[in-house]
Amino acid sequence: MEIAVVWGIHTGRPRGSKASEQRVLAAEMDRVFKGAGGRGTIAVGWPEMGDIGALPPDAEAFKRRLAEVHPDASAQSIANDAATLLAFVHEAKVGDIVVWRSGETRDVWIGHIRGAYAHVPDAHDEYVNRRAVSWRPPQAATDFSKEALRSLGQQRSFFRVKNELEFRQAATGMPLWMLRQAPTAAIEVETA
C-alpha cells in the first residue's frame, strides 16, 4: 500500500480577473467542489492549455505549453504554473488526501482523491481540469492550529501541504500520538 500524500487546493483567481470577482468564484467553486452526497470534485483552471493530461509527465513539456499560450508570462510564473499542473495531473494519486478551505464558508474540507485526472471541456466554468474526490463532513477552521491553516495559504492552486499532521489525523481518524510515531501512516480508501 502506498503512503497517501496530503495535497492542498485553493480557489485562486483566473489570470486577468479582478479581486471583486473572488466572491462569485468562491461560491461557484463551493458548488463544483462539494458536489452531491460527498462525491465532489477538485478543479484547476487553465482552459487555454487544452487537455493537459495529454502532456508527458515532464516539467519541461508543461513549461513549453504554458509559454505557447502565455507568451508574456515571466519565466518564474511559467515554472510555478508548470509545477502546479504537473502535480495535479501526474503526481497526485488516487487515495491521496486533499485539503480545501472553502472560500465561502471558511470551513475546512478533507477528502480523498478517488479518480484519475479528467479534462472536462464542456464544463460551465473555466475549471476544466478535474479530479473526483470523496469529502468527509466539513470541519470548522477552529478545529485546526493556526500553523496548519497557514500551510494552506500557498501561492499555487494545488500544492503539497507541509504542515500536514493535523489534516492527516482528520482524514484517518488516527490519534495524533500514533501519527507522530508513524507520520506517513498509510490508509485505505474506496476508489469506486
Local mean pLDDT, 10-residue blocks, the chain (192 residues):
82 54 58 61 88 95 96 94 95 93 84 92 77 90 92 85 86 72 52 45
Residue bearing cell 488526501: 97
Please tell me the predicted confidence (pLDDT) of residue 176. 66
Annotated domain spans of the chain: 6-181
Q: H helices of 70-141, where?
A: 75-86
Residue 191: predicted pLDDT: 45
Long-range contacts of 30-37 (CB under 8 A, 24+ apart): 30/102, 30/103, 30/104, 30/105, 32/125, 32/127, 33/100, 33/102, 33/109, 33/133, 33/135, 34/109, 34/135, 35/133, 35/135
So what's the pLDDT on residue 36?
47
Name every residue whose Cβ is closer than 8 Å to that of residue 57 and which is 6 or more positions away in sequence.
Answer: 86, 89, 90
Q: Which distant-in-sequence residues (6+ apart) come within 8 Å of 25 by Cβ?
A: 11, 13, 14, 17, 103
What is the CATH topology of the domain spanning 6-181? ph1033 like fold (3.10.590)
Of 135, 140, 170, the residue nearest 34 (C-alpha): 135
**For residue 93, what is its C-alpha cell?**
494519486
Would you state the pLDDT for residue 22? Answer: 53
- CA–CA gap between residue 183 and residue 4 (Å, rounded): 11
Prediction pTM value? 0.82
Q: Angle formed by the axes of helices 75-86 and 59-69, to 10°?
A: 120
The phi-psi region of residue 44 (left if phi > 0; otherwise alpha if psi is between -120 and 50; otherwise beta) is beta
Burial class (CB in 10 A: 0-12, 13-18, 19+), 32: middle
